[in-house]
């Protein structure tokens, strides 16, 4: 078990390096704007631009820039300064992270509770009307683009522009001042983000449950005379849920890494996804790199947690 | 409607195939079984019909637009804007209304189907090919080839697809594109982004399949007959991979459609003024409170198209799977 | 001379006379219809109606007598300031803040556009030595505020050496000031100072042409008699004092100075907190004495809240809420409709003193051929382009480059523009296909439409309204047979990678324009149409058509030296028409700044800047 964990951690660190190198390379080959000119401002002469380029370290070879950067990150936890705002990148990211965390945590809770429950119930009442309705409905939710769902929900329920003025609308999270207001402002984003994912989880859980149901040990448990509810809870769900666990890790990790960009855009939430999108648009390399590293870290971390949990739940994994 | 994954193992032959009149009992070929099962799923049939209509409409878009009496998708109708330059909604002249600069929304939805369908099919094909290739190599050769490919697949998830998309979009959207003119601006960039970010999924699936297939007896048999690796791959493995490949492709199509829409929504997909459903929704988003029509109709188009693909894909998955319980 | 990344506003003198008569009176169209000096009738008759529409929403430019002290104003913003450091700031919205927090030598009361008045200076400067020496005395007992973000600031009073240092630090690469070399190029010792900076970019150089004989006097020694330009430029935030002993440690940081985040201000307000991309908080400067300068300072607190990317909901929020005004976005489209129809008393329209035009790259085919350029000018439907910005309420169709209110406007032909056959391609606001085709034939396309290699590239903004304007233009050009490749990009990228880089510039840059720095013809048409601009800065070029017309270049060089205002206006008016005759660009808009305010706000618009003046705005009831 210990060996397994150590191996996974080492691989995680290697992945951080690989990912940041790839991002560096992509940015170098395909820049969208010239950061030195951006920094220099208007009416800057070529001499001034060259001077700024030098002070930003952009005239050095790529590999040297990369090594400098990684050195700063790992030795001093210094992610550099944003070209656009001239503020430490670490500060920028940490400022934006809370919004994304709010969004992710709420959405995860909803999609786990709703998705898994529906999956379990649908599996148990297989081929009933309930089952058919939930499975068709879930397909519909998966098929709707999440940004469109967000816009439609705003059109219907936002308290400023909606048909029925129920929930706070766009930009409410940024304007909220206490946790209660923030949670209120997040209700629509949570629902929208969780909608498609809970549908996916419902389907997976259902399939996994059906798989488990046909196993021999379930038959044995029933034959032993255990009440059905205990059979479900202690045997079926526990083993059906194991493959889902890996999925959770991946989803949470990628959301924190900026995958919630569509929801953040539609609802105007000042999160990490939006920051990354803006930074890419203006070639703010340090911010891009910083978010990528943070993001990769989250993905690695959650995958690790999930792998360990999986190994704990399913001993066969440890010896692979 | 699909009922999900395995239950009890059924035989290939179906009891209903018995012809009571004649003496012979004919077994049905796998393809016959496949179509029979597929036909039984009403939603899938509906989906297939919808898709056929959509594909035809996309191919014959100019005709459809003319029949309905709408203006071509690039044409601006100055009478459809009010004095503030704001568009008007559904009317007799424009059945779906006009967009923010006065172009007919119905036309743009029909022409947008071309983009969505083209991107969906081509990117699915390319993604599948790349994924199958890598998965095959990783699963068959194992050893360091497998390690390299598997680790790459792992690491690939952490690369922000947005960076790739925007980077490619900006670098390749000018003049002759990049990679020596291979990736031209617009649709090719979107296809490239989808393929580059998604090849890991089929790779993983195919690798798993190959790993279990290569242990099967018929592979051993071929090998003992002196077949080369290449021959084993082509003759033994690939035919048995058809099912998972088709299953993956049919379930990836709706993902590709939504991916293109998301990229266009963020402004890094198909460039205006080429109509794209995602782009239209993005154009509409500042004004949805008062100009709901050009957010609604492209969105419904996306929803129904993806849904149709999902129904069809689901039914195909079940039909391919011999172990699924039938109604 | 700012290129337009944000809109700016300055009121034209005619409307000024009307509006300063009192409180914002909606529907007072009777007074303002005489402001038709801006809009004589033209062929479509539309301009007359246009000005009446716009004149229904005049801005207030003096504080009403009912203004009281107190209250917090929230300024709703889309983006951030360009630089929080006043030494580098060059955006109109940033000036909204700087006009309230900084005290350059000269300043702009809200109802003044002709010439700046003394602000930190104790009186008008003395110009001597044939116009080559400018002497300023500064007010005594002016003190600095607490620093941004807290801490100990600077307790000594302002001295003239602080003003000298403030200007010198603008030469540092870490303080990227965009206009110091533009306006102060004639001050002696610039070259030596720049060389010193190159050697040591961490220390501000000593600029020998700026001297401080004592702590209350500062003298500028010029090599040429261009004193008017220098005095004007000393009204920009660069000359707001900065003590060297306090700022040097911040200015020595690389790659950029961090003084902005720790700045000390001398205006009636100071920046107490700055969170980039999120919020700027301004409080009353406890060390500013009321009556010290012409600013009133009614508000107690000002908060700039950023991140409102949806302009419509932001405008709606301002109109329906309390104590808010807009920062860096205009009301356009639906938002403008809402304001004009339902909240007319909360909307003000101010001419922005700027233009918008479509730049045609004259240095490569097909637009190196003047007949093709004229054809494209003739086919453009400028009214349709204006519709993408909100229609007649948002601006007037432009017929040349100097906008209403700037000397030279009338001389260049006024609203109708230059007349005569030589300008016939410029006289059809909705376009004229027949005329366009005739020019194409003259260019050698016998069918009247382009044939052969007709691919042209266009790089535009990727957000509305710029993206919409480009798409409408593309449709119009396609009618002439061109195959337009449209490539929308991020705003900053459009300039820094494409349109301002000579080597990369596409055939058409449709979203460019120019906003005046001062009310002078030179500030409007010199930099954007002078080939010297392109030669001086090929990677940051603001002469987007890359126009190289010797007659225009020479005329511009000569006009700079004219000091008599009438002669100057006539000269620049003539040059404006010369530029129109080259058809190097398509002018299509003299636009208006549309500002909105909540119902309990008494906004005062600063005409120089075109945005709300924070030092004169107040809240009803405090």
- pLDDT of A41 reads 62
Is there a domain that residue A116 lies in? yes
- pLDDT of B290 reads 83
Is there a domain that residue A2 lies in? no
- A159 and A208 share one domain: yes
- A27 and A126 share one domain: no
- A124 and A255 share one domain: yes
- A48 and A124 share one domain: no
In angstroms, what is the C-alpha Rg of chain C?
24
Crossing angle (nearest 10°) for helices A179-213 and A238-254? 140
Inter-chain touch A30–B151, beta carbons under 8 Å: no
Interval A222-266: pLDDT, tens: 888 888 787 777 777 777 787 787 788 878 888 887 778 888 888
| CB-CB contact of B73 with B111 (8 Å) | yes
Interval B108-148: pLDDT, tens: 999 999 999 999 999 999 999 999 988 888 888 878 888 88
Q: What is the mean pLDDT of residues C127-138?
A: 91
Inter-chain touch C181–A43, beta carbons under 8 Å: yes
- pLDDT of B317 reads 79
Give the minimum alpha-carbon distance from C496 to chain A in angstroms, rounded to a whole number. 6
Asked if pLDDT for residue C55 goes beyond 50, the answer is: yes
Count of Cβ atoms closer than 10 Å to residue B79 Cβ: 9
Look at the block and give the residue holding tokens 């980039």: C276
Q: Which residues of B touch A292 (CB under 8 A)?
A: 158-160, 163
pTM above 0.95, yes or no: no
In terms of residue numbers, what domain contains A26? 15-76
- pLDDT of C114 reads 75
pLDDT class of C390 with cuts at 50, 70, 90: confident
- A215 and A110 share one domain: yes
Least confident of A86-100, C146-160, C192-206, C584-598: A86-100
Interval A271-288: pLDDT, tens: 888 888 888 777 777 788
Is there a domain that residue A8 lies in? no
Instruction: Look up the CATH number of the domain holding residue A119.
Output: 1.10.3720.10
- Does residue B289 belong to the interface with chain C, where contact is any CB pair within 8 Å? yes
Q: What is the ipTM of this complex?
A: 0.81
Euclidean distance between CA atoms C28 and C59, whole angstroms: 12
Q: List the structure tokens of B99.
A: 């967009």
Q: What share of chain C is helix, strand, coil (3-state, %, to 5)?
A: 35, 20, 50
DSSP string, C32-59: HGGGGGG----TTSHHHHHHHHHTTSPP
| CB-CB contact of A236 with A212 (8 Å) | yes
- pLDDT of C115 reads 80
A 43-82 near B (Cβ less than 8 A): none
Euclidean distance between CA atoms B256 and B305, whole angstroms: 11
Query: Is there a cis peptide before residue C255, judged by omega within 30 degrees of 0?
Result: yes
Count of Cβ atoms closer than 10 Å to residue C2 Cβ: 22
- A170 and A39 share one domain: no
- pLDDT of C304 reads 95
Nearest CB neighbour to C464, from listed B75, B100, B271: B100
Inter-chain touch C80–A85, beta carbons under 8 Å: yes
Count of Cβ atoms closer than 10 Å to residue A128 Cβ: 12
Query: Is there a cis peptide before residue C366, judged by omega within 30 degrees of 0?
Result: yes
Residue A106: name the closest of A301, A236, A263 by CA. Answer: A263
Look at the block and give the residue holding tokens 């693909």: B309
| CB-CB contact of B89 with B97 (8 Å) | yes
Asked if pLDDT for residue C392 goes beyond 50, the answer is: yes
Euclidean distance between CA atoms C388 and C332, whole angstroms: 9
Crossing angle (nearest 10°) for helices A179-213 and A129-143? 120
Interval B171-188: pLDDT, tens: 666 555 566 556 776 788
Euclidean distance between CA atoms B287 and B298, whole angstroms: 15
Q: Which chains touch B (3 or more CB pairs under 8 A)?
A: A, C
Is there a domain that residue A235 lies in? yes
- pLDDT of B13 reads 41
Residue C87: name the closest of C158, C168, C1 by CA. Answer: C168
Positive or negative, the Cα torsion across C19, C22, C27, C31? Answer: negative
- Does residue A95 belong to the interface with chain C, where contact is any CB pair within 8 Å? yes
Question: Least CA distance to A40: which residue of chain C?
Answer: C176
For C291, residues 6+ apart whose C-beta sits below 8 A from its C-beta are none
Interval A185-230: pLDDT, tens: 899 999 999 998 888 888 888 888 887 777 777 788 888 888 878 7
Asked if pLDDT for residue B9 goes beyond 50, the answer is: no
Q: List the structure tokens of B132.
A: 């199958």
Instruction: Using DSSP, state whether B97 is helix, strand or coil.
Output: coil
> Burial code of A244-254, b = ≥16 C-beta within 10 A, e = fewer?
bbeebbebbbb
- A44 and A192 share one domain: no
- pLDDT of C40 reads 32
Count of Cβ atoms closer than 10 Å to residue A25 Cβ: 13
Euclidean distance between CA atoms C612 and B159, whole angstroms: 44
Choice between B224 and C573, residue whose per-residue pLDDT is larger: C573
Euclidean distance between CA atoms B118 and B133, whole angstroms: 23
- pLDDT of B219 reads 75
| CB-CB contact of C219 with C133 (8 Å) | yes
| CB-CB contact of C147 with C262 (8 Å) | yes
Euclidean distance between CA atoms C311 and A268, whole angstroms: 12
- A159 and A228 share one domain: yes
Inter-chain touch A52–C496, beta carbons under 8 Å: no
Asked if pLDDT for residue C300 goes beyond 90, the answer is: yes
- pLDDT of C562 reads 81
Give the minimum alpha-carbon distance from B87 to chain A in angstroms, rounded to a whole number. 18
Tally the domains of chain A. Answer: 2
Of all residues in chain A, the percent with pLDDT exceeding 70 is 91
| CB-CB contact of C81 with C271 (8 Å) | no
Residue C269: name the closest of C490, C449, C75 by CA. Answer: C75
Interval B256-266: pLDDT, tens: 999 999 888 88
| Torsion-angle region of B30 (φ positive above 0: left; ψ -120 to 50: alpha; else: beta) | alpha
Euclidean distance between CA atoms B298 and B99, whole angstroms: 11
pLDDT class of C426 with cuts at 50, 70, 90: very high
Is there a domain that residue A210 lies in? yes
Euclidean distance between CA atoms B303 and A140, whole angstroms: 7
Interval C526-536: pLDDT, tens: 889 999 888 87
- The Cα angle at residue B46 between residues B44 and B49, in degrees rounded to 5: 110
Work out whether strand C279-284 and strand C269-275 pair parallel, antiparallel, or are unpaired: antiparallel
Look at the block and give the residue holding tokens 């400023």: A160
Euclidean distance between CA atoms C238 and C179, whole angstroms: 9
| CB-CB contact of C471 with B108 (8 Å) | no
> Burial code of C562-577, b = ≥16 C-beta within 10 A, e = fewer?
beeeeebbbbbbbbbb
- A296 and A191 share one domain: yes
Nearest CB neighbour to B158, from listed A19, A277, A280: A19
Euclidean distance between CA atoms A88 and A78, whole angstroms: 8
Give the minimum alpha-carbon distance from A182 to chain B in angstroms, rounded to a whole number. 23
Is there a domain that residue A87 lies in? no
3-state secondary structure chain A: CHHHHHHHHHHHHHHHHHHHHHHHHHHHHCCCCCHHHHHHCCCCCHHHHHHHHHHCCCCCCHHHHHHHHHHHHHHHCCCCECCCCCCEHHHHHHHHHHHHHHHHHHHHHHHHHHHHHHHHHHHHCCCCHHHHHHHHHHHHHHHCCHHHHHHHHHHHHECCCCCCCCECCCCHHHHCCCHHHHHHHHHHHHHHHHHHHHHHHHHHHHHHHHHHHCCHHHHHHHHCCCCHHHHHHHHHHHHHHHHHHHHHHHHHHHHHHHHCHHHHHHHCCCCHHHHHHHHHHCCCHHHHHHHHHHHHHHHHHHHHHHHHHHHHHCHHHHHC
Instruction: Using DSSP, state whether B297 is helix, strand or coil.
Output: helix
Asked if pLDDT for residue C73 goes beyond 90, the answer is: yes
- A181 and A284 share one domain: yes
Burial of C522 (0-12, 13-18, 19+ CB in 10 A): buried
Instruction: Using DSSP, state whether C146 is helix, strand or coil.
Output: coil
Euclidean distance between CA atoms C414 and A300, whole angstroms: 66
- pLDDT of C470 reads 95
Is there a domain that residue A225 lies in? yes
- Does residue C489 belong to the interface with chain B, where contact is any CB pair within 8 Å? yes
C244-251: Cβ within 8 A, 24+ apart: C244/C161, C244/C162, C244/C165, C244/C204, C245/C154, C246/C153, C246/C154, C247/C165, C247/C169, C248/C203, C248/C204, C251/C169, C251/C172, C251/C174, C251/C175, C251/C202, C251/C203, C251/C204
Residue B190: name the closest of B269, B74, B128 by CA. Answer: B269
Positive or negative, the Cα torsion across A89, A94, A100, A105? Answer: positive
Q: List the structure tokens of B234.
A: 């082509």
Give the minimum alpha-carbon distance from A98 to chain B in angstroms, rounded to a whole number. 20
Inter-chain touch B157–A250, beta carbons under 8 Å: yes
C262-to-A86, C39, C238, C285 alpha-carbon distances in Å: 13, 47, 16, 15
Count of Cβ atoms closer than 10 Å to residue C74 Cβ: 22
- pLDDT of B8 reads 37
Question: Least CA distance to B99: which residue of chain C?
Answer: C468
Inter-chain touch B160–A145, beta carbons under 8 Å: no
- A118 and A23 share one domain: no
Strands (E), C363-416: 395-396
- A64 and A114 share one domain: no
Q: What is the mean pLDDT of residues B84-109?
A: 89
Residue B271 is given by DSSP the state: P
B63-to-B72, B277, B294, C37, C478 alpha-carbon distances in Å: 10, 20, 22, 52, 22
Euclidean distance between CA atoms C402 and C513, whole angstroms: 11
Is there a domain that residue A270 lies in? yes
Give the minimum alpha-carbon distance from C345 to chain A in angstroms, rounded to a whole number. 21
Inter-chain touch C487–B185, beta carbons under 8 Å: yes
Interval C12-39: pLDDT, tens: 222 222 222 222 333 333 222 233 333 3
């Amino acid at each position: 078990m210990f060996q397994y964990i150590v191996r996974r951690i080492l691989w995680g660190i290697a992945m951080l390096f690989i990912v940041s190198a790839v991002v560096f390379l992509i940015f170098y080959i395909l820049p969208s704007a010239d950061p030195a000119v951006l920094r220099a401002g208007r009416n800057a002469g070529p001499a001034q631009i060259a001077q700024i380029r030098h002070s930003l370290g952009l005239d050095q070879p790529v590999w040297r820039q990369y090594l400098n950067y990684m050195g700063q990150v790992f030795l001093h936890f210094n992610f550099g300064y944003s070209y656009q705002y001239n503020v430490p990148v670490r500060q920028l990211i940490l400022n934006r992270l809370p919004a994304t965390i709010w969004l992710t945590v709420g959405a995860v809770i909803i999609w786990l509770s709703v998705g898994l429950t529906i999956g379990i119930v649908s599996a148990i009442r297989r081929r009933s009307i309930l089952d058919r309705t939930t499975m068709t409905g879930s397909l519909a939710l998966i098929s709707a683009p999440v940004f469109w769902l967000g816009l439609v929900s705003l059109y219907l329920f936002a308290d400023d522009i909606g048909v029925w003025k129920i929930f706070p609308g766009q930009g409410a999270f940024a304007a909220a001042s206490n946790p209660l207001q923030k949670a209120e402002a997040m209700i629509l984003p949570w629902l929208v983000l969780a909608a498609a994912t809970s549908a996916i989880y419902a389907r997976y859980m259902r399939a996994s449950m059906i798989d488990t149901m046909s196993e021999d040990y379930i038959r044995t448990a029933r034959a032993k005379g255990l009440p059905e509810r205990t059979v479900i809870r202690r045997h079926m769900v526990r083993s059906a849920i194991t493959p889902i666990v890996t999925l959770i890790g991946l989803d949470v990790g990628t959301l924190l890494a900026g995958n919630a960009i569509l929801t953040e855009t539609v609802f105007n939430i000042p999160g990490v996804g939006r920051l990354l999108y803006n930074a890419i648009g203006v070639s703010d390399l340090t911010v891009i790199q910083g978010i990528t590293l943070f993001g990769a870290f989250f993905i690695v971390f959650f995958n690790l947690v999930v792998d360990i949990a999986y190994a704990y739940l399913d001993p066969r994994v440890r010896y692979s | 409607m699909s009922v999900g994954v395995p239950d009890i193992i059924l035989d290939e032959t179906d009891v209903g195939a018995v012809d009571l009149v004649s003496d012979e009992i004919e077994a049905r070929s796998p393809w016959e079984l496949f179509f029979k099962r597929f036909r039984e799923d009403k939603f899938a049939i509906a989906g297939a019909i919808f898709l056929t209509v959509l594909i035809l409409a996309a191919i014959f878009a100019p005709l459809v637009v003319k029949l309905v009496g709408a203006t071509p998708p690039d044409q601006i109708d100055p009478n459809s804007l009010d004095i503030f330059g704001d568009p008007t909604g559904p009317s007799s002249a424009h059945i779906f209304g006009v967009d923010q600069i006065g172009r007919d929304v119905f036309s743009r939805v029909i022409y947008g189907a071309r983009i969505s369908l083209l991107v969906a099919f081509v990117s699915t094909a390319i993604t599948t090919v790349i994924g199958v290739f890598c998965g095959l190599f990783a699963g068959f050769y194992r050893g360091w080839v497998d390690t390299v490919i598997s680790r790459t697949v792992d690491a690939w998830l952490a690369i922000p697809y947005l960076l790739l998309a925007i980077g490619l979009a900006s670098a390749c959207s000018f003049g002759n594109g990049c990679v020596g003119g291979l990736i031209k601006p617009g649709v090719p960039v979107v296809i490239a982004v989808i393929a580059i970010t998604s090849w890991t999924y089929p790779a993983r699936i195919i690798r798993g399949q190959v790993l279990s297939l290569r242990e099967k007896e018929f592979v051993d048999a071929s090998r003992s007959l002196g077949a080369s690796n290449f021959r084993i791959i082509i003759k033994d493995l690939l035919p048995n991979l058809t099912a998972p490949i088709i299953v993956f492709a049919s379930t990836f199509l709706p993902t590709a459609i939504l991916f293109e829409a998301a990229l266009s929504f963020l402004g890094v997909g198909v460039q205006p003024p080429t109509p794209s459903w995602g782009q239209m929704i993005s154009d509409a988003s500042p004004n949805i409170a008062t100009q709901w029509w050009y957010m609604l109709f492209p969105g419904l188009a996306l929803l129904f198209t993806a849904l149709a693909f999902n129904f069809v894909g689901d039914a195909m998955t079940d039909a391919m799977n011999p172990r699924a319980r039938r109604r | 001379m700012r290129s337009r990344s944000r809109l700016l506003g300055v009121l034209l003198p005619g409307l000024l006379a009307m509006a300063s008569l009192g409180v914002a009176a909606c529907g007072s169209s009777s007074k303002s219809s005489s402001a038709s000096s801006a809009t004589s009738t033209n062929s479509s008759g539309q301009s007359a109606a246009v000005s009446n529409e716009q004149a229904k929403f005049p801005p207030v430019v003096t504080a009403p007598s009912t203004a009281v002290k107190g209250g917090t104003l929230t300024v709703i913003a889309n983006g951030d300031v360009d630089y929080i450091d006043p030494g580098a700031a060059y955006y109109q919205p940033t000036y909204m803040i700087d006009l309230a927090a900084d005290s350059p030598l000269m300043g702009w009361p809200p109802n003044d556009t002709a010439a700046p008045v003394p602000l930190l200076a104790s009186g008008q400067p003395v110009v001597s030595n044939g116009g080559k020496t400018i002497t300023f005395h500064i007010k005594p007992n002016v003190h600095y505020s607490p620093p941004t973000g807290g801490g100990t600031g600077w307790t000594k009073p302002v001295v003239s050496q602080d003003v000298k240092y403030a200007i010198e630090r603008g030469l540092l690469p870490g303080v990227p000031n965009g206009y110091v070399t533009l306006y102060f190029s004639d001050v002696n010792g610039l070259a030596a100072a720049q060389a010193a900076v190159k050697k040591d970019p961490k220390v501000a150089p000593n600029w020998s042409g700026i001297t401080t004989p004592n702590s209350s006097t500062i003298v500028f020694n010029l090599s040429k008699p261009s004193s008017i330009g220098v005095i004007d430029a000393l009204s920009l935030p660069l000359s707001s004092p900065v003590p060297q002993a306090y700022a040097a440690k911040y200015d020595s940081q690389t790659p950029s100075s961090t003084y902005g985040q720790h700045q000390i201000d001398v205006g009636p307000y100071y920046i107490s907190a700055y969170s980039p991309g999120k919020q700027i908080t301004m409080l009353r400067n406890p060390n500013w004495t009321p009556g010290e300068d012409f600013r009133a300072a009614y508000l107690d607190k000002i908060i700039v809240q950023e991140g409102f990317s949806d302009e419509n909901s932001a405008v709606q929020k301002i109109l329906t809420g309390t104590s808010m005004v807009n920062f860096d976005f205009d009301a356009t489209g639906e938002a403008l409709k809402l304001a004009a129809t339902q909240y007319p008393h909360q909307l003000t329209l101010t001419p922005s003193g700027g233009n918008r035009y479509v730049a045609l790259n004259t240095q490569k085919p097909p637009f190196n051929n003047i007949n093709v350029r004229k054809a494209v000018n003739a086919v453009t439907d400028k009214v349709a382009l204006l519709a993408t910005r909100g229609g007649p309420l948002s601006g007037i169709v432009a017929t040349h480059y100097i906008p209403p209110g700037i000397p030279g406007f009338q001389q260049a032909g006024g609203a109708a523009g230059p007349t005569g056959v030589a300008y016939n391609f410029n006289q059809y606001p909705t376009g004229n296909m027949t005329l366009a085709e005739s020019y194409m034939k003259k260019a050698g396309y016998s069918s009247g439409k382009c044939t052969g290699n007709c691919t042209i590239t266009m790089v535009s903004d990727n957000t509305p309204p710029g993206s919409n304007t480009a798409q409408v233009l593309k449709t119009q050009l396609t009618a002439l047979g061109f195959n337009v490749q449209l490539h929308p990009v991020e705003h900053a990228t459009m300039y820094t990678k494409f349109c301002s880089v000579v080597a990369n510039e596409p055939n058409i840059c449709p979203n460019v324009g120019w906003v005046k720095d001062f009310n002078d013809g030179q500030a409007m048409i010199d930099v954007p149409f002078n080939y010297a601009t392109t030669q001086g800065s090929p990677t940051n070029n603001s002469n987007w058509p890359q126009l190289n017309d010797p007659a225009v270049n020479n005329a511009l060089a000569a006009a700079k030296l004219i000091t008599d205002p009438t002669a100057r206006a006539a000269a620049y008016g003539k040059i404006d028409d010369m530029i129109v005759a080259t058809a190097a660009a398509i002018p299509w808009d003299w636009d208006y700044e549309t500002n909105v305010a909540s119902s309990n706000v008494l906004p005062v618009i600063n005409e120089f800047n075109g945005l709300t003046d924070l030092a004169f705005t107040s809240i009803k009831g405090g």
